Amino acid sequence: MTVTIKTPAEIEKMRVAGRLAAEVLEMIGEHVKPGVTTEEIDRICHDYIVNVQKAIPAPLNYGAAPGRPGFPKSICTSLNHVVCHGIPNEKPLKDGDVLNIDVTVIKDGYHGDTSKMFMVGKVPEWAVKLAQVTQESMYKGIQLVKPGARLGDIGEVIQKHAEKHGFSVVREYCGHGIGAVFHEEPQVLHYGRAGTGMELKEGMTFTIEPMINQGRPETRLLGDGWTAITKDRKLSAQWEHTVLVTADGYEILTLRSDDTLPRTSA
Indicate the residue type of 222: L
DSSP lists the bridge partners of residue 98 as 119
Work out the number of other CB atoms within 10 angstroms of the CB of residue 236: 30
DSSP lists the bridge partners of residue 244 as 205, 251
- In which region does residue 54 sit, left (phi positive, over 0), alpha (psi from -120 to 50) or beta (all else)? left
CA 183 and chain centroid, separation: 12
Work out the number of other CB atoms within 10 angstroms of the CB of residue 211: 29
| Contacts (Cβ under 8 Å, ≥6 apart) of 67 | none
How many H helices and E strands in the chain?
4, 15
Binding-site annotation: residue ranges: 85, 102, 113, 176, 183, 209, 240
- In which region does residue 157 sit, left (phi positive, over 0), alpha (psi from -120 to 50) or beta (all else)? alpha
Binding-site annotation: residue ranges for substrate: 85, 183
Work out the number of other CB atoms within 10 angstroms of the CB of residue 105: 30
Angle at CA 63, nearest 5°, toward 62 and 67?
125
Binding-site annotation: residue ranges for a divalent metal cation: 102, 113, 176, 209, 240
